[in-house]
A and B are shown apart, each in its own frame.
Chain A
Amino acid sequence: MPRPEHKEITLTIDGRDVPAIDGQILVDAARGGDIEIPVFCYEPKIGGPVGACRMCLVEIEGISKLQTACSTPVKDGMVVHTQTDRVKGAQQSVVEFLLVNHPLDCPVCDKGGECPLQDISYGYGGGKSRFIEPKRHFVKPLGLSPLIAIDRERCILCYRCVRFSQEVSEDHQLVLLERGASTFVATFDGHPYVAPFSGNIIELCPVGALTSRAYRFRARPWDIEGSGSVCNLCPAQCNVTFTVRDDRVLRVLSRDHDGVDDGWLCDKGRFAYQATHSDERITAPLVRDGDQLRPATWERAIQVASGIARHSGAAAAIVGGETTNEEGLLLGRYLRDTLASHDIDSRQGGALSAGVLRELARTDLQATVPDLEFAHTVLLLDADPVDDAPILDLRIRKGARRNGAQVLVASGRPTALDARAAVAVRHAPGSAASLVLALDAALSGDQGSASSHATDAGSDLEAINALAEALKAGGEDVVIVWGERVTDGAGGEAAAKALVNISATLGLGTREGSGLLELPRGTNGRGLREVGAIPTAGPGLSNPVAVGRSTDEIAAAAAAGDVTALWFLHADPTRDGRNTETWTRAMASAGLVIAHASTLSPELAAHATVVFPAEAGAERDGTITHPDGRIQRLRKAIGSPVDVRPAAAIIARIAEVGSGVDLGPTAGPAGTAAVSAAVSFYAGLNVDEIGGRGLRWQDRDAATNLPAGDVNGESAAPVPAASPNGALRLGTYRSIWASPEVELSPALKFLSRRPTVELSPIDAERIGVTQGQNVDVGTGADVLRATAHLRSDVPAGSIFVESGLAAPGNLPSEGQLIEVNKA
């Protein structure tokens, strides 16, 4: 659905002419004219009005009864009064009525001081109550979940939380039970409300009925300061406000940004701040001494790390997704210009050529986050937003629910959006590339090659044709959301070209609201690519002087002794479950292993030479780039522990001590200026222009500096999917909860993941396991013991193993066959 047209009208509120948009809700129109109408239940983010609280009553000329302003659309020439005696009388009555059952809890209530009910009672209440009967009582406080406390006596029954659960996150868990004054909020059968987005109801509740257990009694609004920044835990990069007291982060709130997060946060973003103050976090440099890492002074750590200068030509770096643009640029420069090495990678699945990357970055092909909401069709290609970039899941649901967008899914692992999808196509794990080729062929009417690619993808031609039909018939505005893993492996480049081709067939480049949106694996995956932290392109996706090795090639080269120094900047490849064994050998044989980390995996603990403590999200400063090209600022909310220093400063110091080179400015506005000087299409960008809301580089004039793409070269064909005879095809997935921050946060610990394998009930029966039993994945020394999770929508013949854990095992790559046995 294209974005709605706006017709300007004028109405009169309290004798003042107020400009508004036809059909706008009166409360919003009044706010635009600086007139406040008090509300409790109205929250446009959740959906349509429900008119539950009656706080917003106003007088409208021509209508004899008072009307709820939250459910009245404005019309041209409407005359509204919000200050008459009748309205004031009604407001006082509503406040008195809401307080009838409300306890006098303010001194012990966590909402106190930032509570709409307090504010509205003061502002619009009559100041006294005639109610002398006993109030309604509930047991309190109770845990609605391990994260949320519920105090039912305080609830004013505005339905906000229930509507969120039913209509926004669509987890359908919260309901209102009983009727009348006995009504209360609960889950249907009393189980805890555990869902990826549950924390949002804390912010939505207009009273202290739903409060955060992690923040419980920690501070009052006058004890704290809010510090705006961006969540760096996943590529969705939601805008957040850190609540800071005594230089500690105590809470994370959403900093509503329509272009990024629509005002929501996932529970990881909301509660993982606790990892910042965890005792297990590394807060001092560590240097290897025999078989142990020991705390060392900074001078010593830098001294040891600067030994990398002796590995000129044989040094390699893996850059983790949370690295900022400034840090990525600096490390890339040092490696390429001084150490004569081109082996730097921030992707996991192999490299795409600079030409192809530029083609994918084309401004006209780029979809934005709000496009997801207004598109006619959203196609997910091997991506599950709820795990890859959680907040986008809500945005796609919003488009489908409010604007009737058609959702299409083509993925290996069943996604959370399958239930919403008009067509859901499965392919073999790791065969997304073949599927994209098949879809491309089907769209251009080449049934022959569509059929052979479909077979290669382990999918079925019929379903792919249905997908192509739905894509063509669904309307012009199409957004294709594709996961980085589509371009993994040998066929990655072919898949990328097919994507460009599909875009051309569907005319995505010609329409404003259409395009491609990639979900990278790392938070700043896009930015790191654009500043040149990849082996195939320099800063600004320019053609490199020489092409370096990609992640897997670095591992192999290091294991073979061709690379002798490894630098892990916020990365730990042994956590990903890919090539664990090669990586372990690589680390063992490398002469120097530098790591920047907050926690250590067993492999890093065993093989790292120097470990620099990494800054936590709230301690960082720099810029990161959103998957849709929005450059955003991370801003330091709290001071770091004394011995934690910015990674950029460490890189610069190592370069200075080891090689005697000055890498230039590292941080602050000058660091960002260095990035915009290096990346042609960021040219002239400075921190003031980025500001608090960020801006998309595609919307600036400098975007035309993006060099033309090149998709002409030959690319290898994808490996056909193995046929599962007896063994099973291996797929992996990384859940939203599989991250070190979750493991370190006491509040989220209950969600942290243990090795799990998802399999279909058919295979489970064959192996003889039931839900929750243990299975052994693989054979011999590499066997991984995992808990079986039966999922009926997993296709028979495939399994999906959880990755991103502290001990992920050593699995072959995606799509390979693997044996699974009952433990």
Chain B
Amino acid sequence: MAQIDEDDIILVQRGPSPTVAGGFYRSFVETARGLKTTLFKVFGETQTIQYPEEKTPVYPRFRGRHKLHTFEDTGLEKCVGCSLCAAACPADCIRVVAAENDPNNRVSAGERYAAVYEINMSRCIFCGYCEVACPFDAITMGHDYELSDLNRSDLIFTKEMLLAEPIERTPLRTEDE
């Protein structure tokens, strides 16, 4: 074994062993004090939410499943396929492949549009950076948090899925909640 340097040795000082009274105090009184809130709540109103029949309401700025937006008047996609969201994404879960718009049959308002737009929801950490990066407010984060699936590849959300209005299943918190 290697020689241990004198300076590396730290002596640990232990306190004195507890007395009988001290031991009793710590085992019962302190434990009861720690359980105080729990014990009182036993007699209060039930707080359990019966998910999935009942859902936790979320705050308006909750960051859930993404939505891609279109212009209300023209119906064109707001996304121009600039890939800035993909650049901002720390989890590297957005894939954008852009293409050129056909002036007679536009998809987006700019010169380019996203031919492929995919978010891999199994990797997303819901940080919201994509929303911040987007220069056109084309992508925002919605309230839906029910994203589990039985198949990993089904968690790659395509442009069509993101453009579709998500089924609004998540209740919003009311003002005073």
The chain A residues found within 8 Å of chain B, CB to CB, are 106-108, 112-113, 141, 216-220, 222-223
Of A112, A113, A217, which is within 8 A of B100 by CB?
A217
Report yes or no: B87 in contact with A217, Cβ–Cβ below 8 A: no
- The answer to whether A107 touches B135 (Cβ under 8 A) is yes
Chain B's closest residue to A110 (CB) is B112
**Contact between chains at B83 and A222 (CB < 8 Å):** yes
Residue of B nearest to A218 (CB): B98
Give the distance in Å from the alpha carbon of A218 to the alpha carbon of B111 in the complex: 13
A561 to chain B, nearest CB (A): 56
On whether the beta carbons of B86 and A217 are closer than 8 Å, the reply is no
What residue of chain B has the Cβ atom nearest to residue A140's Cβ? B111
Kindly identify, within residues 105 to 151 of chain B, every residue whose CB is under 8 Å from any CB belonging to chain A. Answer: 110-112, 135-136
Residue pair A141, B83 in contact (C-beta under 8 Å): no
B82 close to chain A: CB less than 8 A: yes
Determine if B83 and A220 form an interchain contact, defined as CB atoms under 8 angstroms apart: yes
- How long is the Cα–Cα vector from A817 to B98 in the complex, in angstroms? 56
- Is B82's CB under 8 angstroms from A112's CB? yes
Nearest B residue (CB) for A245: B97
- Whether B87 and A220, one on each chain, are in contact in the complex, defined by CB atoms closer than 8 angstroms, is yes
Q: Does B163 reach chain A (CB closer than 8 Å)?
A: no
Residue B68 CB within 8 A of the other chain: no
Additional pairs, 10, CB under 8 Å, beyond known A220-B83, A222-B86: A107-B82, A107-B84, A107-B110, A108-B80, A141-B111, A216-B100, A217-B100, A217-B112, A218-B98, A220-B96
A141 contacts which chain B residues (CB < 8 A)? 111
Partner of B98, one of A106, A113, A217: A217
Residues of A close to B64: CB separation below 8 A: none
Is the CB–CB distance between A108 and B112 below 8 Å? yes
Residue numbers in B under 8 Å from A216 (CB-CB):
100
Please list 20 pairs of residues, one from A and one from B, whose beta carbons are closer than 8 Å in the complex, sorted by A's number. Answer: A106-B82, A107-B80, A107-B82, A107-B110, A107-B135, A107-B136, A108-B82, A108-B111, A108-B112, A112-B82, A113-B87, A217-B98, A217-B112, A219-B97, A220-B82, A220-B83, A220-B87, A222-B83, A222-B86, A223-B96
Instruction: Take A216-B100, A217-B99 as given contacts and tell me if A108 and B86 are in contact as well, using a CB distance cutoff of 8 Å.
Output: no
A141 to B100, CA, bound (A): 11
**Minimum CB–CB distance for A374 against chain B, Å:** 45
Measured between beta carbons, the chain A residues less than 8 angstroms from B82 are 106-108, 112, 220
* Residues of B participating in the A interface, judged by any CB pair closer than 8 Å: 80-84, 86-87, 96-100, 110-112, 135-136
Task: Name A151's closest neighbour in chain B (CB-CB).
Answer: B111
Give the residue name and chain of the B residue nearest to A223 (CB). B83
- Give bound CA distance, A113 to B98, whole Å: 15
**A204 to B: closest C-beta gap in Å:** 22
Minimum CB distance partner of B112 in chain A: A217
Q: Which residues of A contact B98 (CB under 8 A)?
A: 217-218
Least Cβ–Cβ distance between A353 and chain B, in angstroms: 57
Smallest beta-carbon distance A141→chain B, Å: 7
Q: How far is the CB of A450 from chain B (nearest CB, A)?
A: 62
> What's the least CB distance linking A422 to chain B, in Å?
49
Give the A-B contact count at a CB cut-off of 8 A: 36
- A223: chain B residues at CB < 8 Å are 83, 86, 96
Q: Are B87 and A108 in contact (CB under 8 A)?
A: no
List chain A residues, Cβ under 8 A from B97.
219
Among the interface residues A141, A217, A220, A223, which one has the most CB atoms of the partner chain B within 10 A?
A217
Pick the contact of B81: A113, A217, A222 (CB < 8 A). Answer: A217
List, in ascending order, chain B residues with CB within 8 A of A106's CB: 82, 135
The answer for the CA separation of A108 and B84 in the assembled complex, in Å, is 10
CA A216 – CA B112 in complex, angstroms? 9
Closest beta carbon of chain B to A737's beta carbon, Å: 26
Chain B residues lying within 8 Å of A108, measured Cβ to Cβ, are 80, 82, 110-112
Q: Which of B81, B83, B84 has the most chain A CB atoms inside 10 A of its CB?
A: B83
Give the 5 A-B residue pairs with the shortest CB-CB distance, closest first.
A107-B82, A217-B98, A220-B83, A108-B110, A217-B112
Judging by beta carbons under 8 Å apart, are A222 and B80 in contact? no
Q: Is the CB of A220 within 8 A of B100?
A: no
Please give the distance in Å from A726's CB to the nearest CB on chain B: 56
> Bound complex: CA of A216 vs CA of B81, how far in Å?
12
In the complex, are the beta carbons of B87 and A222 less than 8 A apart? yes
Contact among B80, B86, B111, B135 with A220 in the assembled complex (CB-CB below 8 Å)? B86
- C-alpha spacing A477/B101, complex, angstroms: 56
CB-defined contacts of A113 to chain B, threshold 8 Å = 87
Q: Which residues of A contact B99 (CB under 8 A)?
A: 217
Determine how close the nearest CB of chain A comes to the CB of B15; give it in whole angstroms: 57
Chain B contacts of A219 at CB under 8 A? 97
- In the bound complex, CA of A113 to CA of B82 (Å): 10
Q: Cα distance A324–B113 when bound, in Å?
A: 42
Give the CA-CA distance A219 to B80 in the complex, in Å: 13
Given the complex of chains A and B, what is the CA–CA distance between A220 and B83 in angstroms?
A: 7
The answer for the CA separation of A219 and B135 in the assembled complex, in Å, is 18
Give the Cβ gap from A138 to chain B, nearest Cβ, in Å: 14
Q: A220 vs B112: C-alpha distance in the bound complex, in angstroms? A: 13
| Residue in chain A with minimal CB distance to B84 | A107
In the assembly, what is the distance between CA of A448 and CA of B32, in Å? 124
Q: How far is the CA of A108 from the CA of B110 in the complex (A)?
A: 7
A207 nearest CB across to chain B (Å): 15
Give the CA-CA distance A218 to B114 in the complex, in Å. Answer: 11
Give chain A nearest CB distance to B99 CB in angstroms: 6
A218 CA to B83 CA in the complex, in Å? 11
Nearest Cβ on chain A to B81's Cβ, whole angstroms: 7
Chain A residue numbers with a CB within 8 Å of B136 are 107
Point out the residues of chain A lying under 8 angstroms from B112, CB to CB.
108, 217
User: How distant is the Cα of A137 from the Cα of B81 in the complex, in angstroms?
Assistant: 24
User: With A and B bound together, what is the CA distance between A219 and B112 in angstroms?
Assistant: 12
In the bound assembly, the distance between CA atoms of A216 and B101 in angstroms comes to: 11
* B81 surroundings in chain A (CB, below 8 A): 217
Residues of chain B lying within 8 A (CB to CB) of residue A220: 82-83, 86-87, 96
CB-CB < 8 A to B100: which residues of A?
A: 216-217
Question: In the assembled complex, how far is the CB of residue A747 from the closest CB belonging to chain B, in whole angstroms?
Answer: 14
Q: How far is the CA of A113 from the CA of B136 in the complex (A)?
A: 17
Tell me, in angstroms, the Cα distance from A217 to B96 when the chains sit together: 10
Chain B contacts for A107, CB-based, 8 A:
80, 82, 84, 110, 135-136
Alpha-carbon distance A223/B136, docked complex (angstroms): 20
Chain A residues contacting B96 (CB-CB under 8 Å) are: 220, 223
Residue of A nearest to B81 (CB): A217
Q: How far is the CA of A107 from the CA of B84 in the complex (A)?
A: 8
Q: Which residue of B lies closest to A113 (CB)?
A: B87
Shortest beta-carbon distance from A26 to chain B in Å: 35
| Complex: A217 Cα to B97 Cα, angstroms | 8
**In the complex the two chains form, what is the Cα distance from A218 to B97 in whole Å?**
7
In the assembled complex, the CB of B109 is this many whole angstroms from the nearest CB of chain A, namely 10
* Bound CA span A622–B100, Å: 37
Give Cα A218–Cα B98 distance, bound, in whole angstroms.
6
Distance between Cα atoms of A106 and B111 in the complex (Å): 11
Chain A residues with CB below 8 A from B111, complex form: 108, 141, 217
The distance from the CB of A718 to the nearest CB of chain B, in whole angstroms, is: 56
- What residues on A are CB-neighbors of B135 within 8 Å? 106-107
Q: Which residues of A sit under 8 angstroms from B86, Cβ to Cβ?
A: 220, 222-223
Contacts of A222 in B (CB 8 A): 83, 86-87
Cα separation A216 to B99 with both chains bound (whole Å): 8
Nearest CB of A to B172, in Å:
31
Q: How far apart are the CA atoms of A141 and B135 in the complex, in Å? A: 21
CB-based nearest B residue for A221: B87
Q: In the docked arrangement, what's the CA distance between A440 and B7, Å?
A: 87
- Nearest-neighbour CB distance to chain A for B4, whole angstroms, equals 44
What is the minimal beta-carbon distance from A542 to any residue of chain B, in angstroms?
54
Q: Which residue of A lies closest to B114 (CB)?
A: A217
In the complex, the chain B residue whose C-beta lies closest to that of A216 is B100
